[in-house]
Chain A
Amino acid sequence: MFFGKLKKAHGKVIINPNWCKGCGYCVKYCPTDVLEMSKGYNAKGYHPPQVKAAADCRDCKFCELICPEFAIYVTSDKEEEQASASA
């Protein structure tokens, strides 16, 4: 590939379904289509998003930025590996 040995960044999406109000911004504007709206309801009666393709997440954190509810964030896997290695 053009980018040689560069590794793709990878992140893990963490959602708090109880804070979600189902606006759907994260699902619509995820550049790699990681999320989808779930069929289930949360306590408020909204459909929260769920992770559809966890492997596709490229840690761009756009869902975190666009979510009006502060109900979603992304941790980069590299950070997690380092944390587990040091712990």
Chain B
Amino acid sequence: MSSCAPNDAQFRIQNPMAEFLRMERMPHIWCPGCGIGSVVTSMAEAIKNGGHDMDKIAVVSGIGCTGRVAGYVKFDSFHTTHGRAIPFATGLKLANPELKVIVFSGDGDLFSIGGNHFIHAARRNMDLLVICVNNFTYGMTGGQMTPTTPTTANASTTPYGNYEYPFSLPFLADAAGATYVARWTSLNARNITDSISEALNRKGFSFIEVITPCTTLYQRRNRLGDGIDAMQYYHDDADIQHGADTRTVDIGFQGKLKTGKFVDRQKPTYLDAVNTHYANVIGDDYQLYGKTPPEKQAEEEAKRAAAAAAEQADGLEAEYIDEPAECGGDDA
């Protein structure tokens, strides 16, 4: 375009997303107008603004278009089997409680085959951040109906319109016990960033639903136009209602969208509950599982200080012993 535009190789290096994305895999496979890329940018922005240690963040995805995120981001990431993103993330969190684990997956993956895992992780209040990119369809496999497809919407498995009732994801998450529930559309890029920042700085099961357009399948099959039309719909029909009752936030076909932060409550996380319970039952013999980072840090620092003190004492002695030996060697 303009004369000073960087070439492709320079663009890959100079792009501010280069810190967060595996640039060698770009450009990505998502369709024109797909909102997943915007959500990834928002997540990267939130991590950048929060000043989080990139080595302490792990991204887990399931299968599907959104599942590709794990392959594109430069964090420790894993692309799990279909629906098993949350169980894998749970294991990751239990193995290393210092990690901030982000589950980034789609509606089909998290709520149809992974539905049970979702409600149980929410029930236990596992310390995870679940970002669900909801495009109302299975994009990668050809536009089949998902548990979130609104009634009367057309999908390739419901060519005469969907006759089932969809899940209302914030209500499901709230009822299952999630401690932070928010919903945004992919047009609310700044709100998504703020929401992810907030969720990364808190403990407990956080769930953020992002409604994005699937231009190739959902929009086209339902004759809703392209990505711009979907954005216009979000612009016109979505209103922000923080703290709305989650029973009222279900989505009808092209109906009103309620967005905002619906739930924010405090509850002991799974690891906190384990520790408190066993500390009560077993008493002092119980070794705390999954110490909080400050406790562990304090412990490590104390250990390091002790080691340094011991080393210093050893070093003094060693030098004292070494010197005569060296002198002896020179003389000989």
Contact = CB atoms under 8 A, between A and B. Distances in A.
Interface in B8-22: 8, 11, 14-17, 21
Contacts of A46: 32
Contacts of A23: 32-33, 215, 226-228
A68 B15 contact: no
A68 B36 contact: yes
A70 B15 contact: yes
Among A16, A29, A70, max chain B CB count under 10 A is at A70
A69 B190 contact: no
B228 A69 contact: no
Contacts of A66: 38, 41, 187, 189
B228 A28 contact: yes
B5 interface: yes
Interface stretch (B23-31, B78-86, B134-142, B286-294): B23-31
Contacts of A48: 1
Contacts of A14: 5-6, 11, 14
Contact of B15 (A18, A21, A65, A73): A73
B16 A73 contact: yes
| Chain A: number of interface residues, binned into ranges | 20 to 34
A44 B301 CA distance: 55
B2 interface: yes
Q: Is the interface of A mostly helix, strand, loop or mixed?
A: loop
Among B14, B32, B35, B187, max chain A CB count under 10 A is at B32
Given A23-B33, A64-B41, A73-B16, A16 B227 contact: no
A25 B228 contact: yes
Nearest to B17: A70
A70 B74 CA distance: 14
A72 to B, nearest CB: 9
Nearest to A21: B32
A68 B37 contact: yes
B188 to A, nearest CB: 10
A73 B12 CA distance: 11
Contacts, number: 88
A65 B189 contact: yes
Contacts of B190: 62, 65
A28 B230 CA distance: 13
Interface string A60-83: 001011111111010000000000
B127 interface: no
B1 A50 contact: yes
A12 B193 CA distance: 22
Given A25-B231, A48-B1, A70-B26, A65 B11 contact: no
A64 B45 CA distance: 10
Contacts of A68: 30, 33-38
Interface string A1-44: 00000000000001111110111110011000000001000000
Interface in B28-80: 28, 30-38, 40-42, 45
Given A16-B8, A68-B38, 5 more contacts: A23-B215, A23-B226, A23-B228, A28-B228, A65-B42
29 contacts: A14-B5, A15-B5, A16-B5, A17-B1, A18-B8, A18-B27, A21-B33, A22-B32, A23-B32, A23-B215, A23-B227, A25-B33, A29-B231, A50-B2, A62-B189, A62-B190, A65-B41, A65-B42, A65-B190, A66-B41, A66-B189, A67-B38, A68-B36, A69-B27, A69-B30, A70-B26, A70-B28, A70-B37, A73-B14
Interface of B: 1-2, 5-6, 8, 11, 14-17, 21, 26-28, 30-38, 40-42, 45, 187, 189-190, 193, 215, 226-228, 231
Closest 5 CB pairs of A and B: A68-B37, A21-B32, A23-B33, A65-B189, A19-B27
